[in-house]
Amino acid sequence: MDITKIKRCAIYIRVSTEEQHLNGLSLQAQRKALTAYAKEHNYVIVDVYADEGISARKSMNHRKELLRLLSDVEKGKVDMILVTKLDRWFRNIKDYNTTEEILAAHRCYWKTIFENYDSSTANGQMVINIMLSVNQAECDRTSERIKAVLDYKRSVGEVTSGRIACFGYKAVNGHLFKDESTMNLVDEMFQYYFGCMNKRRTYQHLLEEFGDLVPPYATFAKLFTRETYTGTVQGIPDACEPYITQEQYRLIQQISDTRTSAEEHEAYFFSGLIKCPVCGKNLCGYVKKNRKKNGKVFLYKSYRCYNHMKNRRLCSCGMTIHENTVEKYMLEQVPVTLDTTIQMEEARKRRVSNQGRILGLQSELDRLNIQFQKGRISESYYDEQYDMIKKKLDTEQSSGPHTVIAEYVTELLSGNWICLYDQLDAEHKSVFWKTVVSEINIDKTHRLCGFKFNTEVV
């Protein structure tokens, strides 16, 4: 009669994302082999612990199933652990030794079914440590090879993950193409959005036009953050056919739909543009009621700090500012600021293009150096003149990347634009200001003190 105690075993399986791509390793194959081995040896399987998409080089703190397994070991539920090979168990020497201490303290050991390792002897432990060192180095080399392959694919415009094919695109042979089943929806999404600059209104419109084809709102809102729609894939421009331009993409990022306490369909000209002078957050629009002595009630569209409105401990700024006040200020200041900015940019271009002036300053420096070398000028005079000429030269040569007013802004503000602006309704005035400026500033005395045009880097 066999009175040998039946062993309780835990099956541990692991595969990293990289290994699945490279070698086609699967959790299912490991589970099948280990289960068959356990049944063949009459082991009782306590549980299966599977870490998928996790590298063995990562800290054991990132391997949730391994931690669950060790917790069960500490609770006395496991007598032995079965793994297919050593590299499924560990490739990190430090974490292996930490785990061994836990197993030894609870008289639990591990076994590989495709390799012969004995962790119960000193020689066996030495062999294991040597193999772990080899596996650790090989893991690092494999990771480097995979990263090199992925970098090359990205450089030639190939996608390295199906997740990159966002809504409106499909991946075919490693490249993105517009998806015929959803491309009309995406075209309409951007076209309608640029007409109202409001995601929720755009979403409602798409539901009416396309019904169930429209993704959930949470997914829909994230589409506006995807640079893929400009044709840029994984940082590589012109990798696929675009839906919008880079300028349109930058404009979308500069515009934010802020929550307000106003009526649902009330359009605020400067929603998401005015910055709180205390906390820096956007002011939100609301309707301010003012009751006169004769009983008449007047409604004024105004702005106040959302943080202060929500919780005064978040922001101490309790100011409000009327929309009419902001609009009057902007209509007065935009033409003046635009002219000044354009003149400064033209002056900068003249400095950069004046190569004759640059050559002249370089010649002055050469002559100055020769005079100093021949002892014709003092050291103090040389330092003074050198610094002065060098400063002028640096100014003339300052032609690196810089920001300028976006071209679509200068086009919009050309001609008699104020007359055209006066003919717009409230919703389109809101679109106008979000297209032209990125923020409007208020100082600590609650006075309007400036604004920033939407810009582009040249």
Q: What is the DSSP secondary-structure string of 405-416?
A: E-HHHHHHTSSS
Average pLDDT estimate for 182-210: 89
Active site residue 316: no
The answer to whether 326 touches 269, Cβ cutoff 8 Å, is: yes
What percent of the chain clears pLDDT 70, i.e. is strictly above it?
79
Average pLDDT estimate for 271-288: 89
pLDDT given for residue 21 in this prediction: 45
pTM equals: 0.45
Q: Which residues touch 81 (CB under 8 Å, ≥6 apart)?
A: 9, 10, 11, 12, 69, 73, 103, 108, 109, 110, 111
Q: Is the pLDDT of residue 411 over 60?
A: yes
- Could you tell me if 95 and 233 lie in one domain? no
Transcribe 339-383 into DSSP letters.
Answer: HHHHHHHHHHHHHHH-HHHHHHHHHHHHHHHHHHHTT-S-HHHHH
- Could you tell me if 329 and 457 lie in one domain? yes
Helix residue spans in 183-322 (DSSP H): 183-196, 199-210, 217-223, 246-254, 306-310
Q: Is the pLDDT of residue 51 over 60?
A: yes
- Could you tell me if 214 and 80 lie in one domain? no
Q: Is residue 157 part of a domain?
A: no
In the set 16, 271, 302, 438, the catalytic residue is 16
Q: Is residue 424 part of a domain?
A: yes
- Could you tell me if 76 and 17 lie in one domain? yes
pLDDT given for residue 262 in this prediction: 42
Q: Which residue has the higher pLDDT, 150 or 283?
A: 283
Q: Is the pLDDT of residue 136 over 60?
A: no
Q: What is the CATH number of the domain that holds 76?
A: 3.40.50.1390
pLDDT given for residue 77 in this prediction: 94
* Among 152, 179, 213, residue at a domain's last position: 152
Residue 365 domain boundaries: 354-400
Task: Report how far apart the first and last C-alpha atoms of the chain are (Å, whole number).
Answer: 87
Q: Is the pLDDT of residue 287 over 80?
A: yes
pLDDT given for residue 449 in this prediction: 93
Average pLDDT estimate for 46-75: 86
pLDDT given for residue 322 in this prediction: 93
* Among 228, 254, 280, residue at a domain's last position: 254
* Per-residue exposure over 419-433, b if at least 16 CB sit within 10 Å of its own CB, e if not: eebeeeeebebbbbb
Q: Is residue 1 part of a domain?
A: no
Average pLDDT estimate for 72-83: 94
pLDDT given for residue 22 in this prediction: 46
> How many structural domains are present in the chain?
4
pLDDT given for residue 124 in this prediction: 65
